[in-house]
Structure 1
């Protein structure tokens, strides 16, 4: 109890002093002193209960206002703005530190001079593997002072897409936007069709699908690669138009959305051998697919080792836990930029009901023209992912790297790359009961991803101690992070 000192040096309780001022009493006989003390006690008790109920009710109403915003304004909690700030931080882009794209050639760069050599190209793989390969071939044509023939696209891969270049890309824009860099023609001159050609199968550097080295190339060549990929290889007008419509429809549902590149597709799981969380029959189906796909060289894969090493895409359940731990509310709109999900999507939708696919925001008529054309539908996913408020890839594939690099070039838009190896340890603790979902989990996940949200940084080279060709396999992809060659702090934006 807090006490005060009286003028005569004695001590009296502060509560008694307050009571005396509020309720003055005349001196009573000693026989009635007990009655007075009891009376004072009960009055103080009533006063205490009144004050306690006032503040308790106030805080209950404030908490209720946070959950139910239609209550009168005078019930607004001082805590609500703090919660709003936390929510805004989940969406805001990292600080770009004044950096911007700089793609124009240096003062020493000369316009294309022309030559009598021609390069024909056959691109392989999915959409983004072909895109980065084509950008590299533009640079090769420049270095060889040769004319580039519009590339042929892969028609034999897993996707079995019969699209030609002009079905996916704006062919005239591609030719005209690079005319100062290299001459590009639509077809090889007829008189050269039967002429013998030198053939070259390019090495894929760094375990990736870029055909040129990531580092140590001339600055003007690096910037040409960026101009080719990010500016010249624009999608066809029909794809661009529909892609922008779908972005508008997503925004009309809630203003902001996450684009989730959920690589939980049948081909990805079969190729990587990742079967964690699947049933025995599902695992067996994937094993048979891998063994019967001739160009997949590795047939026997230890799924557990793959997962522990962080080489497996996150499962739908793991994605749901991950998003919640980051702080995103269940009402968040999550667009899935991927093909058909193999299994267990309900493990994600149970936590985030607003999971959407292109088939849910586009009409059947709009998508009919793209049926059986996987590369064209992938282009729609690319546009939606590029324009999203947050992009999250669950596996480091060609799509993930290309979108991340493009978003860096456009001002370091927020891109959260899950630390799959670190998350496996956390998920296993949840599975075993050593960790519970809640504050502790949120702290671990947020701390693990503080520096994995797309903030500016220079491209990473190979770790120390790695030599020879293995060094190239450990480098970060040029197209995943074109800083510093194509991103700079110069006065004039280019």
Structure 2
């Protein structure tokens, strides 16, 4: 205000001076008069300069121009960074619109050569292993395996001994009638073994991971001696690539159509999505994999206290089926193998251009350390929503002590979100991404954790600061990490033998091209 006032005064002053000058020179002034006039002009110029300088100093001291002092990378304030980022104008379509999908759509119909399995008197029983999504994809694999082996599949048993120790049965988790009905054109499915076969000897088999059709055709030799084959583990029983088109499409029919969640889960999931929409229309589903088991398994302790790090180490040492006990946390993080911390997620989302008002649904179990670790994310994005705040206590009561069922709610809400962002590439993240690709390449932003760690460390050391240039760098490295159409990635170069299969992109993470196509056949 002071500065504007002086500009207005200065303008009127120059008008008056201009008029006086004309009168002065019209009277043939003397040399002395001219000298005095020049001295007066010089003195006035110095006065104006001093006034304007003092105003600018005042403005800088009060922070009115957004540059309180010359910025050093060691002396920035978080609030200032936030205001700078808020001023960035990112188009809405860049934040929320799905990538262009080129007219691609789901295609799961079998070819004209496809024939359903008869099953006859040969049966396969399955004990699914792992968490929710590991079991789901494993069951889809076993549907295909039973078809290849021309066997009747008995409804699988679910894992009750994993980290979550969920006692849910198949019918608690999935719509059993839907499962049987949807796949009746593919193979026979029995709810249980015939009574007369319950006590007969079974061939207990741990099928080799990532096997092809030829392997399972050989396994049919077991039926010469046994009527029942029991499969101890269901996850990753089939190869990702080089399988017949009809087998790949059967896997998709099994996962995306047959394995529908049970009605109570589906109904509540739909209600929660509607409630999220009523809060603001659009929302991000953030799979914040900052849970105790994940941090312990990966050995990632960055940002944790010494006591927390020790607790996770003890847990890893005492978990027998976790083979790796000694882990260098720093190397893990630099290599991009650690889940982003809540603070890092907040910086990441802000750099992408999402405003503080964005509604973010936290799709996760209990966050390790609770609010102590969530506070940095909540500071930047106050509208965090959890199952416990979205659903009533009465609604969640039926799901108490059933972690797989609550994880199914997270899955449904994540699939339906406008944007899905996983902080780590686990089974849930891969399954949701694949489902969203199948449904039309819905926007899925996968953080480049390795690249981000480099930027985060530069922020911490003062070599970078949050602001427009940092935001631009984050956006550039994630330009092609938005879930757009691309063919599934093969094995990493230089790796030979069966180890190469482990490096392939999961079929369920990206079922393109077999189950996603541009043809008219659905």
2:310 corresponds in structure 1 to 284
1:91 corresponds in structure 2 to 96
Gaps spanning 5+ residues in structure 1: where? 1-18, 42-81
CA distance in 2, matches of 1:347, 1:486: 41
CA distance in 2, matches of 1:459, 1:260: 24
Q: Tell me, what secondary structure is at the counterpart of 1:345?
A: helix
Q: Is the 8 A contact 2:346 2:381 kept in 1?
A: yes
Residue in structure 2 matching 1:256, options 279, 282, 293? 282
Q: Is the 8 A contact 1:209 1:398 kept in 2?
A: no
2:345 corresponds in structure 1 to 319
Moved more, 296-305 or 127-136: 296-305
The answer on 1:488 being equivalent to 2:493 is no
Q: CA deviation at 1:85?
A: 6.6
Q: What per-residue deviation string (whole Å, max 9, x for no partner) do you get for residues 397-451 of structure 1?
A: 1000000000000000000000111111011000100000001211111111011
2:193 corresponds in structure 1 to 188
CA distance in 1, matches of 2:88, 2:469: 19
Q: What per-residue deviation string (whole Å, max 9, x for no partner) do you get for residues 188-223 of structure 1?
A: 0000011111111134449x9422110000000000
Change (3 A) 1:397 1:33: farther
Change (3 A) 1:361 1:32: farther
1:102 corresponds in structure 2 to 107
Q: How does 1:132-171 map to 2 (within 5 A)?
A: 132-171=137-176
CA distance in 1, matches of 2:376, 2:209: 36
1:405 corresponds in structure 2 to 434
Q: Tell me, what secondary structure is at the counterpart of 1:408?
A: helix
Q: CA deviation at 1:116?
A: 1.7
Q: How does 1:344-355 map to 2 (within 5 A)?
A: 344-355=373-384
Q: What per-residue deviation string (whole Å, max 9, x for no partner) do you get for residues 107-129 of structure 1?
A: 11123334221000000110000
1:177 corresponds in structure 2 to 182
CA distance in 2, matches of 1:374, 1:213: 29
Q: How does 1:232-251 map to 2 (within 5 A)?
A: 232-251=258-277
1:74 corresponds in structure 2 to none
Q: CA deviation at 1:297?
A: 1.3
Q: What per-residue deviation string (whole Å, max 9, x for no partner) do you get for residues 169-198 of structure 1?
A: 000000000000010010100000111111
> How many positions carry a matched residue from both structures?
428
Residue in structure 1 matching 2:245, options 216, 219, 234? 219
Q: Tell me, what secondary structure is at the counterpart of 2:324?
A: coil
The answer on 1:463 being equivalent to 2:492 is yes
TM-score for both structures, normalised by structure 1:
0.83
Aligned-pair RMSD on alpha carbons?
2.4
Change (3 A) 1:380 1:33: farther
Q: How does 1:12-161 map to 2 (within 5 A)?
A: 31-32=26-27, 86-161=91-166
The answer on 1:381 being equivalent to 2:410 is yes
2:63 corresponds in structure 1 to none
Q: Tell me, what secondary structure is at the counterpart of 2:126?
A: coil
Change (3 A) 1:442 1:28: closer
Residue in structure 1 matching 2:471, options 442, 448, 461? 442
Change (3 A) 1:180 1:282: same
Residue in structure 1 matching 2:359, options 323, 333, 355? 333
Q: Tell me, what secondary structure is at the counterpart of 1:479?
A: coil
2:501 corresponds in structure 1 to 472
CA distance in 2, matches of 1:202, 1:274: 32
Q: Is the 8 A contact 2:141 2:235 kept in 1?
A: no
Q: CA deviation at 1:83?
A: 7.7
Q: How does 1:348-363 map to 2 (within 5 A)?
A: 348-363=377-392
2:45 corresponds in structure 1 to none
2:327 corresponds in structure 1 to 301
Change (3 A) 1:93 1:424: same
